[in-house]
Amino acid sequence: MAPAPGAFDSPFAERTQWLYARRDVDALRAACAGAEGEADLLCRYRLYPLTRQQALLHLPEQPATESARAYALLAGLWGYRAAQASLVRMPTYGRRTLDLLRRARALDPDEPYALLVEGQSLLFRPAIFGGDKRAALARFRRLKSAVASHSGSGIAPLEADLWVWYTLDRLGDRTAPALRSRLLEGAPPLYRDFLLHPPG
């Protein structure tokens, strides 16, 4: 029996990642048409950085399915919402993000999306609120291993490497420039731009 349109199977996850890395918004939207549940969360997670539109509208407080992946993807979306929220709303959204991540880790501590979103959260959160670049680096290194053992997760090995590089760069590590040069070779458009013009 064929999967329903937008079902979160490995080919769907891999295709969304491929389109995301190539910054093909129209094709990604078309691929995501009719997506539900985890697939919808994945589509929103991939579309938001490209469009900043609609992906954060009507976010549920809890995922429809009890899986580490669903909790992690929803945590990532609430993290995006927190990052753009007013100072009044930011703590509420931030706590929701952390609660969803805790649930994801409890279900599967090696879920790739949980490692990715938690690493990003640790990296971008101010230290006063629990941010920790070295802890983020540890998550991204675990992510590299998790991606290797979770084939079809929809996270490319290069994406994991990018976050390792970016964290090393933020830490001022002397190995970061050589890693950046290696990753630039053949990087698709989105990742290439990230390497050339990383977030401040």
- Which sequence spans correspond to the domains of the chain? 11-196
Distances (CA, A) of 138 to 78, 115, 120: 22, 9, 11
pLDDT tens, residue by residue, 90-103: 888 889 999 999 99
Residue with tokens 């090995």: 157
Query: Any alpha helices (H) in the chain, and if so which ranges?
Result: 10-21, 25-32, 37-51, 68-84, 90-107, 112-124, 133-149, 157-170, 176-184, 189-196
C-alpha dihedral (158, 50, 23, 46), degrees to nearest 10: 50
pLDDT digits (tens, 9 = 90+) for 6-63: 556 789 999 999 999 999 999 999 999 999 999 999 999 999 999 987 788 889 999 9
Identify the CATH number of the domain defined by range 11-196. 1.25.40
